Amino acid sequence: MTKIISANLNGIRSASKKGFFEWMQQQQADFVCVQELKAQADDMTVDFLMPQGYHGNFHYAEKKGYSGTGVYSKATPDKVEIGFGSPEFDAEGRYVRCDFGNLSIISVYCPSGSSSPERQEAKFRFMALFYPHLLDLIAQGRELVICGDWNIAHKEIDLKNWKSNQKNSGFLPEERAWMTRLFDEQGWVDVYRRLHPHTTGEAYTWWSNRGQAWANNVGWRIDYHVATAGIAAKAKTASIYKDQRFSDHAPLIIEYA
C-alpha cells in the first residue's frame, strides 16, 4: 500500500508545536504534502527540512509569513519542480512536484478569494492559468496525485451551510464549474469522493475559527487528492484525521494499492 497525506498546516512552526511531526512519524506515510508553511527558507529547522526518515522539498513564498508548500517523501525524488511557470503565483510559493518513476506527487495551495475582491480576482487568474497546466500534466501520460488545499467546496454536500454560501468565495458557481470541468472534461478524479460518494459531515477538512464552527462541525471540504484515473482506481481507504488539531484544517489520508 502507498499512503499519501495532505495537510494544510496554517504555519509549520505552529503545527510543529501542536505535535504534527510526532503524529507524522506515527503515520509512516510514503508521501506527506503540506501547504501554508508560512515560513521562509531561513525559518526551516533541520527537523522541518528532513524529519526522521523523510526527504523534504519546498516552495517558499517571497512574502514573509505567507503561503508555501512542500512534499515529504521516504524515497528520494528522481526530479523536483518548484512552481508551475506563473511568475505571479510562483512568487507565492504554491506548487511543488516530485517525480518517482512513473508517479508524480504534487502539493498545491490554491489561492483564497475570501479576504477581498482583489484576491478573488487573483484566484480567478490562478484558475485560468492552472487549468491548461493540468491539461498538460494529463497529456504527459504519468500517474499523478495532486494533494492540497484547493479552496473550493465542489458540491452542496461538501459544506454545512451551502445555501448561505452561494455568493461567497470557495462556493461560487464559477469555482464549482471549474472543478466540474477538471473531473468531467479533463478526466481527473476526486479520490475521496470516489470512495465516499455520499458522505457529508465526516468529509469536512476545514473549519472557520469564527464562532463555534469546529464544535458544531460547520465545516467545508476544500482539501483534496485529485488524481489521474489509473492510480485513483487503486485507492482503497480514505480518512480525515480529527483526533488532534494541528491547524484549522484536518489531514486527509488516502491509501492506494
Whether residue 4 contacts residue 256, with contact meaning beta carbons closer than 8 Å, is answered with yes
Counting DSSP H helices and E strands in the chain, the numbers are 8, 14
Whether residue 246 contacts residue 7, with contact meaning beta carbons closer than 8 Å, is answered with yes
Name, in order, each residue with C-beta under 8 angstroms of 199's C-beta and a sequence gap of 6 or more.
157
Measured distance CA(222)–CA(91) in Å, rounded = 23
- Distance from chain centroid for Cα 170: 14
What grid cell was written down for 145?
496525485
What grid cell was written down for 71?
512534499
CA of 95: how far to CAs of 37, 115, 147, 209, in Å?
A: 12, 21, 10, 26
Measured distance CA(160)–CA(179) in Å, rounded = 19
Query: Catalytic: 99?
Result: no
Query: Which contacts of 171-176 are long-range, i.e. CB under 8 A and separated by 24 or more positions?
Result: 171/220, 174/124, 175/123, 175/127, 176/152
Provide the 3-class DSSP secondary structure of residue 218. Answer: coil
DSSP assignment, residue 100?
Answer: E
Question: Which of the residues 78, 136, 149, 243 is marked catalytic?
Answer: 149
Measured distance CA(52)–CA(74) in Å, rounded = 9
In 10 A of CB 132, how many CB atoms? Answer: 9
Active site residues: 149
